[in-house]
Amino acid sequence: MRNRIIILIILVIGIIIGYNYIYQDHRDIESEVAKYEITSEDITSSFSKNPTEAETKYLNTTIEVAGKISESDNTSITLDDKVFCQFTNNIQNAVKVDSKIRIKGRVIGYDDLLEQVKLDQCSILN
């Protein structure tokens, strides 16, 4: 009987720890401090010269990117045709093409085909 109670307690503790590990809170990129401040040209050249080193340095980190808007729609902006920024909210009237801007977001990867760095959870800084 005593062994069953101990096993049950260990099982309940394991379930609680597992649940808390799997269902962690999402990161709030907007409130995080950016680890790097960089231009769109610099981060793209970093990925094209040495992708492995750039992924180790930038992947899943919060950065600030400065550049000129080349494309814009309701939920995304492309800077200098090199950095694609995905927003969670509508940005329809907040930006104009060919204006300079700084954006903070999380690096999620590099698209070899389009030669673009991809960011998500972005926010406009100026």
87-115 pLDDT, tens digit per residue, is 988 887 777 888 899 999 999 999 889 88
Burial of 81 (0-12, 13-18, 19+ CB in 10 A): middle
44-90 pLDDT, tens digit per residue, is 999 989 989 999 999 999 999 999 999 988 889 999 999 999 998 88
16-30 pLDDT, tens digit per residue, is 998 888 887 777 778
User: Average of pLDDT values for 4-24?
Assistant: 89
Cα(123)–Cα(58) distance, rounded to whole angstroms? Answer: 17
For domain 29-124, the CATH architecture is Beta Barrel (2.40)
Cα(45)–Cα(50) distance, rounded to whole angstroms? Answer: 8
Is pLDDT at 34 greater than 80 in this prediction? yes
Residue that wins the pLDDT comparison between 122 and 25: 122
